[in-house]
Chain A
Amino acid sequence: MAVEMKLPPVLDIIRGNIVKHGNPLALKGAEVASWAKKLNLPAQGEILFYTGGEYQLVPFIDSLVKTMTHMDQGGKGFSLMMGVRNILDKAGINAEKIYASVLAKDKERFNNVCYKAAVVLQQLGYDLCYGGEQELYSGALLYELGYWQDLREYGQKVVQSIKQSGAKTIVCLSPHAAEVFKLVYPKLVNGFQIEVRTFVEMVWEKRDKLPAVKFDDSVVIHDSCRLARELGIDQELRDIMESVGVPVLEPMRSRKWTTCCGGPGKLLFPEISHKIADRRVGELEETGAGVILTSCPYCLAALQGGSREGSGTGVEDLIEFLYRGFAV
Chain B
Amino acid sequence: MSVDLQKEFGDYSKNLNRASKDTNIETAITRAVKAYRATVADAMERYPHTPDLAAEVRRIKADSIANNDALLRQAMESVERNKGKAFYARDKQQALEIVAEIIGKEKIVVKGKSMLGEELHLREYLEEKGNEVWESDLGEFILQLKNDRPMHILSPAIHVPREQVAEIFSKFFGREVPPDIAQEVAVVRDFLRDKYFNAHVGISSANVVAADTGAMVIIENEGNIRLSTAAPPVHIVVVGIEKIVPTFQESMKVAEVTWRYAQYGVPSYVSIISGPSKTGDIEKVTTYGAHGPKEFYVVFVDNGRTAMAQDELFSQALHCLRCGGCMYECPVFQVTAGNFGHTYLGGIGSIWTVFVSGGLEKAAPLLYTCLRCGRCVERCPMQIDVPAMVAELRNRIINGEEQETGLDSQAS
Answer yes or no: do A and B interact: yes
Q: Is A225 positioned at the interface, with any CB of B under 8 Å from its CB?
A: yes
B401 CB-CB contact with A under 8 Å: yes
B202, chain A: closest CB distance, angstroms: 40
Q: From A4-12, A22-30, A112-120, A312-320, give the one contacting chain B.
A: A4-12
A-B contacts, CB under 8 A, total: 140
Interface mask (B1-23 → A, CB under 8 Å = 1, otherwise 0):
11111100110010011001000
B398 touches A147 (CB 8 A): yes
Report A162-190 CB contacts with B as 1/0, cut-off 8 Å.
Answer: 00000000000000000000001011111
Q: Nearest chain A CB to B205's CB is how many angstroms away?
A: 31
Q: Given contacts A2-B400, A148-B399, A187-B411, are A7 and B6 in contact (CB under 8 A)?
A: yes
Partner of B332, one of A2, A256, A272: A272
Q: Would you call A146 and B391 a contact (CB within 8 A)?
A: yes
Which B-chain residue is minimally distant from A188 (CB atoms)?
B411
A5 touches B364 (CB 8 A): yes
Give the complex CA separation of A186 and B334 in angstroms. 35
Tell me the nearest residue of chain B to A225, going by C-beta: B373
- In residues 248-267 of chain B, which contact A (Cβ within 8 Å)? none
B375 in contact with A257 (CB, 8 Å):
yes
Distance in Å: Cβ of A57 to nearest Cβ of chain B? 19
- The reply to whether B378 and A229 contact each other, CB–CB distance below 8 Å, is yes
* A268 touches B (CB below 8 Å): yes
CB-CB nearest in chain B for A183: B407
Q: Give the CA-CA distance A146 to B397 in the complex, in Å.
A: 7
Report the minimal beta-carbon distance from A261 to chain B, rounded to whole angstroms.
Answer: 9
Given contacts A2-B400, A7-B397, A262-B371, contact A272 B2 (CB under 8 A): no
- Looking at the assembled complex, report how far the CB atom of A103 sits from the nearest CB atom of chain B, in whole angstroms: 26
C-alpha spacing A257/B377, complex, angstroms: 10
The residue among B9, B334, B371, B378 with the most chain A CB atoms within 10 A of its own CB is B371
Report the separation of the CA atoms of residues A268 and B411 in the bound assembly, to the nearest whole angstrom. Answer: 31
Complexed CA–CA distance, A203 and B361 (Å):
45
Size category, B interface:
35 or more
**Residue pair B399, A260 in contact (C-beta under 8 Å):** no
Interface residue from A72, A146, A187, A225 paired with B399 (Cβ < 8 Å): A146
A230 partner residues in chain B, CB cutoff 8 A? 374
> Are A3 and B3 neighbours in the complex by a CB distance under 8 Å?
yes
Measured between C-beta atoms, what is the minimum distance from A149 to chain B in Å? 5
Q: How many residues of A contact B (CB 8 A)?
A: 45
- Given A146-B399, A188-B407: A276 in contact with B331 (beta carbons within 8 A): yes
Distance between A114 CB and nearest chain B CB, rounded to angstroms: 25
Q: A144-B372, A260-B371, A262-B331 are in contact. Are A2 and B395 (CB under 8 A)?
A: no
Interface: A265 (CB within 8 A): yes
- Contact partner of A268 among B2, B13, B395, B396, CB < 8 A? B13
Most buried by B among A4, A146, A147: A146
A-B pairs with lowest CB-CB distance, top 5? A146-B394, A260-B373, A146-B398, A187-B407, A4-B2
Chain B residues in the interface with A (C-beta under 8 A):
1-6, 9-10, 13, 16-17, 20, 329, 331-332, 334-336, 360-361, 364, 368-369, 371-375, 377-378, 391, 393-402, 405, 407-408, 410-412
**19 contacts across the A-B interface (CB closer than 8 A):** A5-B3, A72-B6, A145-B368, A146-B391, A146-B393, A146-B398, A187-B407, A190-B410, A190-B412, A225-B375, A256-B378, A257-B378, A259-B375, A260-B331, A264-B372, A272-B336, A275-B335, A276-B335, A280-B331
